[in-house]
Amino acid sequence: MKTLTIFRIIAFLEGLSYILLLFVGVPLKYFGNDVTLVKMLGMPHGFLFMAYIAFVIVLRFDNPWFKKHFILIALASIVPFGTFIVEHKLRKLA
């Protein structure tokens, strides 16, 4: 599998874990007093976040599109739905 394809999968999964954590887990934690979902989603989201950032750094050296938009691609992991936009643009490029 190509590095860019793996990155697209990680970007999608990282975005999905972030959305679930932010919009399902956190409300359940604070409004339902149930921390189960936050504990279940927290660790995988952390690993996916680190993998996303690592791939952004690696792909910066191999891909001209990443060099041009490096900061925006890295910041997309912090903004809700940001990684989905990056993944969509990469799908168009591929």
Domain boundaries, the chain: 3-93
pLDDT at residue 85 in the model = 92
Distance CA 2, CA 9 (A): 11
Residues of the chain with pLDDT under 70: 1, 94
Compute CA 61 distance to the chain's CA centroid, rounded to the nearest angstrom. 20
What pTM was estimated for this model as a whole?
A: 0.88
pLDDT at residue 76 in the model = 92
Of residues 19, 7, 1, 6, the one with CA closest to residue 74:
7
